[in-house]
């Protein structure tokens, strides 16, 4: 189920193109092949090895019954990331990271419950007893809360790991995960500091083809983990 793309597929997707040499971060040097026409080129042999390790970790985590939170709010990735979350049942944040989502999770959990309750009441018609104006206010509140909590309804505690697309954009998520000791998996372009990321996936974090390729790989890893968990759950108990 999990399929790690070949170096050729990664090359076709443009995963090797980094940022201009003037914008690089020195701590990404171990992952670089060299520079061409003022742009750093990422070593895709290294990228593939790291991608495989990261996906194996995700699959193993999910197989053990734990959750991996997917985070990516930039325009190029948010729709794909949301789709992967919805298709696999993985928790996700694709619109807005609310400060304290990890570091104040006990408080956030109350907001998630409130959001879940409002959505349920609307779906079952229990809001119809209110005036049209009040119902409109409820709709606005649900829409606002959906951006922060829509993908977290099944998250009852801190995730076992967090996948972040673009740690520069998602610096608050990165900081909170570090503070909480949550292992971080992240696609790291040549302009970021990968320090503190447990599973670095060196690669272009802007190219649409790269985003699609990596997100499909993550989708496969999560589904493989879920399949293994289901098989383990249904496996006959061995008798002595």
- Read off the CATH number of the domain in which 90 is found: 3.40.50.10490
CB 69 within 8 A of CB 161: yes
Same domain, 118 and 88: no
Same domain, 45 and 111: no
Helix (H/G/I), strand (E/B), else coil: 185: strand
Same domain, 107 and 150: yes
| pLDDT in the model for residue 37 | 87
pLDDT tens for the chain, residues 1 to 240: 689 999 999 999 999 989 888 889 999 999 999 888 899 999 999 999 999 999 999 999 999 999 999 999 999 999 999 999 999 999 999 999 999 999 999 999 999 999 999 999 989 999 889 988 998 998 999 999 998 899 999 999 999 999 999 999 999 999 999 999 999 999 999 999 999 999 999 999 999 999 999 999 999 999 999 999 999 888 776 665
Helix (H/G/I), strand (E/B), else coil: 20: strand
**DSSP output for 122-181:** HHTTTTTTS-HHHHHHHHHHHHHHHHHHTT-TT--S--SEEEEE-TTTTHHHHHHHHHHT
Separation in Å, CA 91 to CA 108, 154, 205: 14, 7, 21
Same domain, 122 and 93: no
Domain boundary (123, 139, 154) is at 154
| Alpha-carbon gap, residue 154 to 152, rounded angstroms | 6
- Read off the CATH number of the domain in which 126 is found: 1.10.287
Q: Which domain holds residue 15?
A: 7-102+158-232
Helix (H/G/I), strand (E/B), else coil: 83: helix
In a domain, 179, yes or no: yes
Same domain, 21 and 61: yes
What is the total count of domains within the chain? 2
| pLDDT in the model for residue 240 | 59
| Alpha-carbon gap, residue 197 to 22, rounded angstroms | 23
Same domain, 169 and 211: yes
| pLDDT in the model for residue 204 | 95
In a domain, 51, yes or no: yes
In a domain, 240, yes or no: no
Same domain, 142 and 184: no
Same domain, 193 and 141: no
Same domain, 98 and 114: no
Same domain, 14 and 26: yes
| pLDDT in the model for residue 185 | 99
Same domain, 15 and 129: no
Same domain, 121 and 211: no
């Amino acid at each position: 189920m999990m399929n790690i793309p070949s170096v050729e597929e990664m090359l076709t997707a443009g995963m090797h193109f980094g940022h201009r040499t003037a914008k690089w971060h020195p701590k990404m040097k171990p992952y670089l092949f060299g520079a061409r026409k003022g742009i750093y080129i990422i070593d895709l042999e290294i990228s593939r090895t790291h991608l495989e390790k990261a996906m194996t970790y995700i699959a193993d985590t999910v197989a053990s019954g734990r959750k991996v939170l997917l985070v990516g709010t930039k325009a190029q990735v948010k729709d794909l990331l949301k789709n992967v979350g919805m298709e696999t049942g993985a928790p996700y944040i694709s619109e807005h990271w609310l400060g304290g989502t990890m570091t104040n999770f006990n408080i956030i959990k109350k907001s998630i419950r409130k959001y879940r309750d409002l959505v349920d009441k609307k779906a079952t018609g229990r809001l119809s007893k209110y005036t049209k104006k009040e119902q409109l206010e409820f709709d606005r509140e649900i829409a606002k809360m959906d951006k922060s909590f829509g993908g977290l309804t099944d998250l009852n505690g801190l995730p076992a790991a967090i996948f972040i697309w673009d740690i520069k954009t998602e610096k608050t998520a990165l900081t909170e995960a570090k503070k909480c000791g949550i292992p971080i998996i992240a696609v790291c372009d040549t302009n970021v500091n990968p320090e503190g990321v447990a599973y670095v996936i060196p690669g272009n974090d802007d190219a649409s083809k790269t985003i699609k390729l990596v997100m499909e790989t993550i989708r496969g890893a999560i589904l493989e983990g879920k399949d293994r968990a289901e098989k383990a759950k249904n496996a006959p108990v061995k008798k002595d």
